Amino acid sequence: MKKECPECGEKIVGRIDKKFCSDACRNSYNNRVNKDSKNLIRNTNNRLRKNYRILEDLNPDKKTKTSRSKLIEKGFDFNYFTSIYTTKAGTVYYFVYDQGYLPLEDDYFALVKRE
Ligand SMILES: [Zn+2]
């Protein structure tokens, strides 16, 4: 069975380990894949930066409390954080860099800045 070029769909002739029909196809394929992964990283970084600014705005004194609705109103996205910290007591803090939040009861959150 002949392999097809993943860029243009042409049958590949030549060496068995050849993945693309031509250098041009290889280049344009790799450029596109790299661009997509760069976009993914840029979009994720933008989400994290936005979340960080929201936490920073709401928590100027390194420790406070806020509500879920206030976070959502500002555009906070709970899917994006950089690390999770679990205390010995089993309490789970979510961090966006050094800004952390801890879900409390009744849709409230404790905000803490890591020293
Ligand atoms: Zn091709």
For residue 10, pLDDT over 70 is answered with: yes
Above pLDDT 90, what percent of the chain?
90
In a domain, 31, yes or no: no
Identity of the residue numbered 33: V
Mean pLDDT, range 91-110, rounded to an integer: 96
Does the reported pTM lie above 0.75? yes
For residue 15, the CA-to-ligand 1 centroid distance in Å is 14
d(CA 45, CA 82): 10
List the structure tokens of 75.
């555009």
Query: Which residues are registered as beta bridge partners of 35?
Result: none
For residue 28, pLDDT over 70 is answered with: yes
For residue 103, pLDDT over 90 is answered with: yes
Domain range holding 94? 37-113
In a domain, 25, yes or no: no
Query: Which residues are registered as beta bridge partners of 63?
Result: 112
DSSP one-letter code for 11: B
Q: What is the band of 16 on the pLDDT scale with cuts at 50, 70, 90?
A: confident
Dihedral sign for Cα atoms in the order 69, 77, 96, 50:
negative
For residue 2, pLDDT over 80 is answered with: no
For residue 7, the CA-to-ligand 1 centroid distance in Å is 5
For residue 66, the CA-to-ligand 1 centroid distance in Å is 55
List the structure tokens of 12.
């590949």
* Helix and strand numbers, DSSP H then E, in the chain: 2, 5
In a domain, 72, yes or no: yes
Measured in residues, the chain has a length of: 115
For residue 41, the CA-to-ligand 1 centroid distance in Å is 27
Query: Which residues are registered as beta bridge partners of 92?
Result: 86
Mean pLDDT, range 7-27, rounded to an integer: 92
- The total domain count for the chain is 1
For residue 36, the CA-to-ligand 1 centroid distance in Å is 19
In a domain, 73, yes or no: yes
Above pLDDT 70, what percent of the chain?
99
Q: What is the band of 13 on the pLDDT scale with cuts at 50, 70, 90?
A: confident
For residue 25, the CA-to-ligand 1 centroid distance in Å is 5
pLDDT of residue 1: 63
